[in-house]
Amino acid sequence: MKCEDFEQTIYLYSELSESERFRVDAHIQTCVACKELSQRVLSTQGLIEQAALAKPDLVNHARLTSTIMQAITAQQQQSTSWISNLFLKYTMVAGSLALIIAFGVEQLSPVGSVYKRMPETNTVTLNSASFMKAALDRKENPEAVNPSFYACVKSGDCNNPLIESLKKKSL
Amino acid sequence: MPEPITPELIQEAVRGSQPAFRAIVEANQGFVYAVAFRFVNDSQEAEDITQEVFVRLWKNLKSYRHEVKLTTWLYKIVTNRCLDFLKSRNGRQRKNKVDISTTHFVQDSSTPEKEFQQQELTRIIHAAADELTPKQKAVFILRDLEGLTSEEVSEALSMSAGNVKSNLFYARKKMTEKLKAMYQTTDKQFL
């Protein structure tokens, strides 16, 4: 193995198994460059271990605990109101959907339908004879209908009290 | 390392007990803050992240799996949050602005001179770590500064063992080179 192959194992010496360490140690004994690197890495590790002893510490533990507990209480209240808002929202959506469905069902239901199609008009083709039939029937059998106010005034034959009073005034 | 939390206490907190959760916060906020600070190098940001971590823990406590240690889970949450911060615009702007002067450190120094040396060394290590990529920094902090095992780092970062080793190699190599360069420029003896 070349020195470059040992570089990684020197830096990761603490992570190696015993047999791997033995192999690295044997190489270091025979290689000046790797021995130098190993010493440098060990010195760095020593400094890092020394720095690790100085733990960053909170100035005021009680204040942070209190802040955390306040945040948790606020978060709990927020989630409770969120759940109740969600419940209200879903209730309203469900109510609206129920109304829409009820309206749709009523419209589509055949019971109580007000439309009656004539058998003659049951196709897409317009059958003018069926529309004309009603007009022709009226013409052949005219019914006694009350004349309009205009027709009464024009003919002067009606027994309308308003027309009678107008006639008297004109006399 | 944080104080151990009993499974009963966790169970109570899962059931919604705020006093039980407070006990968990009190026992673990110190180490969560320390990890966050090592990532962001800013006491205010580290406090904000610590707060977010515990709010997230409270929200997700019902999905907590007992086979995973609570501390491992907390490491996972805080690391993810810190990585998000480092990737954010705010995090990138803060890069290379290491200021540990306003932060209190638990020192293991007997004399003021040793204390000063320790503080200086901590500043240099934090500044060098700031040059690493976010993943390398995460592996370096958890493995070399927090003292987690490779398996715990792998679990906390959801990373394969090979990936952890690879990131650790590049992190240690860069740290060695950075420290050598920093000590040379400050006329201090190194290696």
User: Domain coordinates of chain A in residue numbers?
Assistant: 3-53
Architecture label for domain B110-186: Orthogonal Bundle (1.10)
Taking only the tens place, the pLDDT of each residue in B132-148 is 999 999 999 999 999 99
**Spatial CA neighbour of A69 closest among B27, B71, B58:** B58
What secondary structure does DSSP assign to B27-43, as a single string?
Answer: HHHHHHHHHHHHHH--H
Contact in structure between B152 and B146 (CB atoms under 8 Å)? no
**Spatial CA neighbour of B96 closest among B123, B136, B78:** B123
> Region A33-44: what's the mean pLDDT?
92
Residues 139-178 of B with CB under 8 A from A: 144-147, 150, 165, 168-169, 172-173, 175-176
**Spatial CA neighbour of B15 closest among B73, B55, B61:** B61
**Spatial CA neighbour of A8 closest among B139, B176, B172:** B172
State the pTM of this model: 0.68
Sign of CA dihedral B6, B9, B15, B20: negative
Q: What is the mean pLDDT of chain B?
A: 85
Class of B1-99 in CATH: mainly alpha
Q: Which of A39-48, A134-143, B119-128 has the lowest mean pLDDT?
A: A134-143
Beta bridge partners of A55: B106
For residue A105, the model assigns a pLDDT of 81
Which of the two residues, A61 and A160, has the higher pLDDT score? Answer: A61
User: How crowded is residue B33: how many other Cβ atoms within 10 Å of its Cβ?
Assistant: 25
pLDDT at residue A117 is higher than 60: no
- pLDDT band of residue A32 (cuts 50, 70, 90) is very high
Would you call A71 an interface residue with chain B, using a CB distance cutoff of 8 Å? yes
Residue with tokens 């006399």: A171
Q: Count contacts between A and B (CB, < 8 Å).
A: 123
What DSSP character marks residue A35? H
Best residue of B1, B14, B26, B78 to probe chain A, by most A CBs closer than 10 Å = B26
For residue A147, the model assigns a pLDDT of 65
Nearest-by-CA chain A residue for B54: A68
Contact in structure between B51 and A71 (CB atoms under 8 Å)? yes
Q: Where are the alpha helices (DSSP H) in A54-127?
A: 61-108
Residues B55 and B61: their CA atoms lie apart, in Å, by: 10
Helix (H) / strand (E) containing B11 = helix B7-14
Taking only the tens place, the pLDDT of each residue in A4-22 is 788 999 999 999 999 999 9
* Nearest Cβ partner for A40 among B30, B108, B176: B176
What secondary structure does DSSP assign to B54-99, as a single string?
Answer: HHHHHHHGGG--TTS-HHHHHHHHHHHHHHHHHHSHHHHHHTT---
For residue A113, the model assigns a pLDDT of 47
Nearest-by-CA chain B residue for A12: B169
For residue A67, the model assigns a pLDDT of 93
Taking only the tens place, the pLDDT of each residue in B150-180 is 999 999 999 999 999 999 999 999 999 988 8
* Nearest Cβ partner for A54 among B29, B107, B172: B107
Contact in structure between B126 and B41 (CB atoms under 8 Å)? yes
Helix (H) / strand (E) containing A1 = none
What DSSP character marks residue A25? H
User: How crowded is residue B174: how many other Cβ atoms within 10 Å of its Cβ?
Assistant: 18
Beta bridge partners of B104: A57
User: Domain coordinates of chain B in residue numbers?
Assistant: 1-99, 110-186
The per-residue pLDDT string of chain B (191 residues; one tens digit each, 9 = 90 and over) reads 555 678 888 889 988 899 999 999 999 999 999 999 999 988 999 999 999 999 999 999 888 887 788 898 999 999 999 999 988 866 666 655 555 555 666 665 667 777 787 888 888 898 889 889 999 999 999 999 999 999 999 999 999 999 999 999 999 999 999 888 877 765 555 54
Please name the residues in contact with A29: beta carbons below 8 A apart, sequence gap of 6 or more: A35
For residue B89, the model assigns a pLDDT of 63
